[in-house]
Structure formats: structure tokens, C-alpha cells
Amino acid sequence: MPSILATPAYAVAHRWRYAQTQRQLGKACLWDEGRGLGLCGDWCVGHRVKSAFLSGLELALSVLEG
């Protein structure tokens, strides 16, 4: 197996201490039909991309359903 001999010119590590939701909303999204205002995001149901996708999908469906 070939090895990589290059040395990076710059390298830094960053610890994302507050990246994960500590307390989820517990609902996939929030939708106020009267105001035409909705909220979605990973924080509604988790802290991963899948959560963000599902939350956005649920909000889109809520908007379409009226």
C-alpha cells in the first residue's frame, strides 16, 4: 500500500462542544398555519443530518396540507 509522505502546511483540530441538541423539541416541526410560519431543524428530533431532513420534510408536508 502506498504511503502519503506530504506534510500539511497547516492543521488544526476544533472540538464542537455544543453541536449536539441536549433536549429535543419532541415534535418533528412547528407549523403555524395562521401566521404562515414554520420551524424545522435537527434540534426538533435529534442532532444528525437525518433528523434535519426528516424535520424539513415534515414541515414541507404540513405546509402542503395547509
Ligand X SMILES: Cc1cc2nc3c(=O)[nH]c(=O)nc-3n(C[C@H](O)[C@H](O)[C@H](O)COP(=O)(O)OP(=O)(O)OC[C@H]3O[C@@H](n4cnc5c(N)ncnc54)[C@H](O)[C@@H]3O)c2cc1C
- Which residue in 6, 9, 12, 49 binds ligand X (CB under 6 A)? 49
Nearer to ligand X (CB atom), residue 20 or residue 32:
20
Nearer to ligand X (CB atom), residue 1 or residue 13:
13
Mark 13-42 with x for binding to ligand X (rule: CB under 6 A) and - for no binding: ---x--x---------------------xx
Q: Which segments of 1-66 does DSSP mark as H helices, in order?
A: 42-45, 49-65
Closest to 51 measured CA to CA, from 29, 33, 66, 30: 29
**Contact, 21 vs 48, CB < 8 A?**
no
**Contact, 49 vs 42, CB < 8 A?**
yes
Residues that bind ligand X (CB under 6 A): 16, 19, 41-42, 47-52
